[in-house]
Amino acid sequence: MGFFSPLCKISRRGKYFVLLLLLLSVLAWIATFSGETVKSGRFFSATPQTLIKEDTLRVKVNTWTEATNLLKTPPPKVECPQESPLLQGALKLSFEASLKLKDVVSDNKGVTEGEYTPPDCTARQSVAILIPHRSRERHLLYLLHHLHPFLQRQQLHYAIYVIQQAGDATFNRAKLLNVGYLEALKDYSWECFIFHDVDLVPENDHNLYVCDKQPKHLVVGRNATGYKLRYKGYFGGVTAMTREQFLQVNGFSNTYWGWGGEDDDLRIRVELQKMKILRPPADVARYTMVFHKRDSGNEINKDRMRLLGRTQQVWRKDGLNSCSYKTMSVERLPLYVNVTVDIGKP
């Protein structure tokens, strides 16, 4: 017996009647259902519709604000090119007796408290230039005069630190440079450090003041030595090491008082770490050293050969990790950060 069997017994007219009833009830059901929707729709209608309007408005406002912001904020900086388009190559250096500090300041308007950031691109490296110093004001002025524009042409983010030895005890170049490294890192996480004599002026801006995979010696030759490398292991004057490379060798020794030996000691430290010293091509790594006599207070260190003989034994405990000093002042001058420090005496 099928489900529809009772229907079969009903007359044809009856069948149509039942079908019509079914159809009507379905229609009624649909009508009630949609009525509820309409009702509920009416009940809630105000809120979603306003929301939609508000949302559209908010989107419009947001797009407008974003658009105006885009116009206001400069476009995101791109990395500076591998080779700066500002480089000039061999330079004509000048050492005018009439040069004044205020002229150098006004020539370097982009420099604030010794620091510079290229305006149009993101520098490839952030470099701290460390200059050990005492009573060489004229040399410092010449160096600042040449070095600031030189570094700006290289599109570097850089800052110059001058580390002044307070008092008149024997000079200690190496310890001052350790202090410079430690003090500069309090300002910024510099990735590269240039250890720079005050009297050496670079002659060619293709001599890049950036660090490499290995420590770099930037002085192949200078005027006084006929632009020849003094000896194979020579590592004095101007050197570049990354923050990590310098930390790895525990910095300079603190024990070289007076002239000589501290640069060779650093070379030994570098070699002990199986690092290799790199040098730029000789035609680029050229410097003019402003003429000077040996300073009083920086007499030749007669002990240097003995000290060089024990570097291998002592480097781990003599260096950055044992560099004790007293900072007398940190002055943020327009062209450099002037760190005056008491490093003690021999």
Residues that bind ligand UD2 (CB under 6 A): 132-136, 171, 173, 197-200, 219, 236-237, 259-260, 262-263, 289, 294-295, 297-298
User: Which of Mn ion, ligand UD2, none has residue 265 at its interface (CB below 5 to 8 Å by kind)?
Assistant: none
Where do we find the tokens 């024997």? Answer: 170
260 binds, among Mn ion, ligand UD2, none (CB under 5 to 8 A by kind): ligand UD2
Alpha-helix residue ranges (DSSP H) falling in 154-274: 173-187, 243-248, 262-272
341 three-state secondary structure:
strand
Pick between residue 199 and residue 205 the one whose CB is nearest to Mn ion. Answer: 199
Rounded to a whole number of angstroms, the minimum distance from the CB of residue 237 to Mn ion is: 8
- The distance of closest approach from Cβ of residue 230 to ligand UD2 in the complex, given in angstroms and rounded to an integer, is 7
Is the CB of 199 or the CB of 264 nearer to Mn ion? 199
Tell me the β-bridge partners of 201: 288
Going by C-alpha positions, the residue among 162, 210, 231, 127 that lies closest to residue 218 is 210
Between CA 27 and CA 107 the distance in angstroms is 90
Neighbouring C-beta atoms of residue 261, cutoff 10 Å: 24
* CA separation for the pair 159, 126 (Å, rounded): 8
Cβ closest to Mn ion, residue 115 vs residue 199: 199
Cβ 314 to ligand UD2, closest distance in Å? 19
Decide whether 118 or 202 has the Cβ nearer to ligand UD2: 202
The interface partner of residue 297, options being Mn ion, ligand UD2, none and the CB cut-off 5 to 8 Å by kind, is: ligand UD2
> Closest Cα to residue 300, out of 256, 265, 236, 269?
256
Nearer to ligand UD2, 116 or 259 (CB): 259
Shortest distance, CB of residue 281 to ligand UD2, whole angstroms?
Answer: 18
Residue 238 sits at the vertex; the CA angle it makes with 236 and 243, to the nearest 5 degrees, is: 105
Rounded distance between C-alpha atoms, residue 227 and residue 280, angstroms: 13
**Residue 178 contacts residue 320 (beta carbons within 8 Å):** yes
Q: How far apart (Å, rounded) are the C-alpha atoms in residues 310 and 312?
A: 5
Looking at beta carbons only, is 93 or 105 nearer to Mn ion? 93
Residue 263: which of Mn ion, ligand UD2, none does it interact with, CB under 5 to 8 A by kind?
Answer: ligand UD2
Residues with a catalytic annotation lie at: 197, 199, 259, 262-263, 289, 292, 294
Please, which residues have CB within 8 angstroms of residue 289's CB and are 6 or more apart in sequence?
197, 199, 200, 201, 222, 223, 224
Q: How far is the CB of 129 from ligand UD2 (least distance, A)?
A: 12
Which of Mn ion, ligand UD2, none has residue 169 at its interface (CB below 5 to 8 Å by kind)? none
Mark residues 177-206: x for contact with Mn ion by CB under 5 A, - for none: ----------------------x-------
Q: Is 262 in the site for Mn ion (CB under 5 A)?
A: no
Query: Which partner in ligand UD2, Mn ion, none is near 236 (CB below 5 to 8 A by kind)?
Result: ligand UD2
Rounded CA gap, 182 and 174, in Å?
A: 13
- Smallest gap from Cβ 122 to Mn ion, in A, equals 35
In total, the chain counts a number of residues equal to: 346
CB nearer to Mn ion: pick between 183 and 199: 199
334 makes contact, choosing from Mn ion, ligand UD2, none, with CB < 5 to 8 Å by partner type, with none
Looking from the CA of 211 toward its CB, the CA atoms found within 13 Å total 23
Residue 169: CB minimum distance to ligand UD2, A: 11
Q: Judge whether 265 and 308 are in contact, CB under 8 Å.
A: yes
Where do contacts with Mn ion occur on this chain (CB under 5 A)? Answer: 199
